[in-house]
Amino acid sequence: MLKDITIGQYFPGDSIIHRLDPRFKIVITLIYILMLFAGDSIICLGVGAVFTLFAIILSKIPLKMFLKSIKPLLPFLVLTAVFNLVFVKSGEVIFEWKFIEITDEAVSISIFMFVRIILLIMGSSLLTYTTSPITLTDAIERLLSPLKKLKLPVHELAMMMSIALRFIPTLIEETEKIMSAQKARGAEIDSGSFMTRARNMVAILVPLFISSFRRADELATAMECRCYRGGEGRTRLRQLRSAPRDYIALAVSLVFYGVNIAVGIIVK
């Protein structure tokens, strides 16, 4: 069922990671990504892996959930690894079969890339798993607010995002209803020829668009009635307050970042 899709994959919880200020979480995630791409030795990745594992344990979200987030991307990852194996030609050849030559460097590069991307996915999943989409939107708006001076519509973009998030469940429910209604009129949605199916998609999309426009129109009026006039002078119920733990978390991640760079230099 469509309803089972959870957008943003948020897992409500009360761990220290959940409670971190979302602005700090975003910044730390960015630092983490930089860290993964800065070092190019296996040891650097090791430091990254320790950091990830440490954060996952603190989040109290089962490791299984993170492995699940990798699963859909696995074919892509394997393919990249195979390409690296076959096409990297530098280093000593350690395996040869017909026209395929595999070098020691190819092996290390493919493992390296493989692990790096996995760590990247796990790290960013941690952000979305522990932060509700609406909080995330809010934090992005505030982090980007200096850009308002450059006339970038930061508030408007954030408002659009949060309204979109609000209406996703409503529209999913509506789509299901329309699908059932058309099925009851004999529309074939999961079977039949391509042409009939395409035609039947029209029977679902047209009503869905019409109702979305109607909703948008009514919502706009309702917002006007509640004195909405853009981002100027708005105050917020959701207060983002940074606590000492946020600075500690930031410091810890900076230390990891430092260690990572140091290791990189020493190894060289």
Partner 1 sequence: MENIIEIKNLCFSYPADEDETPVQVLNNISLEIKEGEFMAVLGHNGSGKSTLAKHINGILLPTSGTVTVDGISTADEEKIFDLRCRAGMVFQNPDNQIVSSVVEEDVAFALENLGVPYEEMRKRVDDALKDVNMYEYRNHSPAQLSGGQKQRIAIAGIIAMKPKCIILDEPTAMLDPQGRKEVMSVIKRMNREYGITIVLITHYMDEAAQCNRVVVMDKGNIILDDTPKAVFSHVEQVKAIGLDVPQATELAWELRKAGYDIPQGIITEDECAEAIKRLFERE
Partner 2 sequence: MAILETQELTYIYSEGSPFQKTAVDNVNLKIDEGEMVGVMGHTGSGKSTLIQHFNGLLKPTSGRVLLDGEDIWADKKKIRDVRFKVGLVFQYPEYQIFEETVYKDIAFGPKNMGLDEAEIKRRILETAHDLGLKEELLERSPFELSGGQKRRVAIAGVMAMNPRVLILDEPTAGLDPAGRDKILGHIKKYHERTKNTILIVSHSMEDIAGFADRILVMNKSKLFCYDETEKVFARAEEISKIGLDVPQVTKVFMKLKEQGLDFGKDVYTVEYAKKLLLKKLSERGGV
What is the footprint of partner 2 within residues 188-207 (CB under 8 A)? Answer: 188, 202-203, 206-207
| Residue 165 binds to partner 1 (criterion: CB under 8 A) | yes
Residue 184 contact among partner 1, partner 2, none, beta carbon within 5 to 8 Å by kind? partner 2
Decide whether 72 or 186 has the Cβ nearer to partner 2: 186
Query: What's the token pair of residue 189?
Result: 């949605």
Whole-angstrom distance, CA of residue 103 vs CA of residue 91: 6
Residue 170 contact among partner 1, partner 2, none, beta carbon within 5 to 8 Å by kind? partner 1
| Residue 43 binds to partner 1 (criterion: CB under 8 A) | no
Query: What's the token pair of residue 53?
Result: 């594992």
Own/partner pairs, 87-96, CB within 8 angstroms, 24+ separation: none
What is the footprint of partner 2 within residues 156-175 (CB under 8 A)? Answer: 174
Amino acid at 53: L
What per-residue string of b and e applies to 203-222 under the rule 16 or more CB within 10 Å gives b?
A: bbeebbeebeeeeeeeeeee
| Residue 227 binds to partner 1 (criterion: CB under 8 A) | yes
Q: Closest approach of Cβ 12 to partner 2, in Å?
A: 13
Is residue 11 within 8 A of residue 240, CB to CB? The reply is no
Whole-angstrom distance, CA of residue 176 vs CA of residue 184: 12
| Residue 241 binds to partner 1 (criterion: CB under 8 A) | no
Is residue 197 within 8 A of residue 188, CB to CB? The reply is yes
User: Number of residues in contact with partner 2, rule: CB under 8 A?
Assistant: 18
CB proximity list for 170: less than 8 A, separation 6 or greater: 215
Q: Closest approach of Cβ 176 to partner 2, in Å?
A: 11
The interface mask with partner 1, positions 145-164, x = CB under 8 A, is -----------------xx-
Among 185, 226, 229, 236, the residue binding partner 2 under the rule CB under 8 A is: 185
What per-residue string of b and e applies to 6-41 under the rule 16 or more CB within 10 Å gives b?
A: eeeebbeeeeebbebbbbbbbbbbebbeebbeebeb
Residue 178 contact among partner 1, partner 2, none, beta carbon within 5 to 8 Å by kind? partner 2
The interface mask with partner 1, positions 169-208, x = CB under 8 A, is xx--x-----------------------------------
Q: Length of the chain in residues, anyone?
A: 268
Decide whether 163 or 204 has the Cβ nearer to partner 1: 163
User: Number of residues in contact with partner 1, rule: CB under 8 A?
Assistant: 29
SS3 160: helix
Chain residues in the site for partner 2 (CB under 8 A)? 174, 177-178, 180-188, 202-203, 206-207, 210-211
Chain residues in the site for partner 1 (CB under 8 A)? 133-134, 162-163, 165-166, 169-170, 173, 214-215, 218-219, 221-229, 233-239
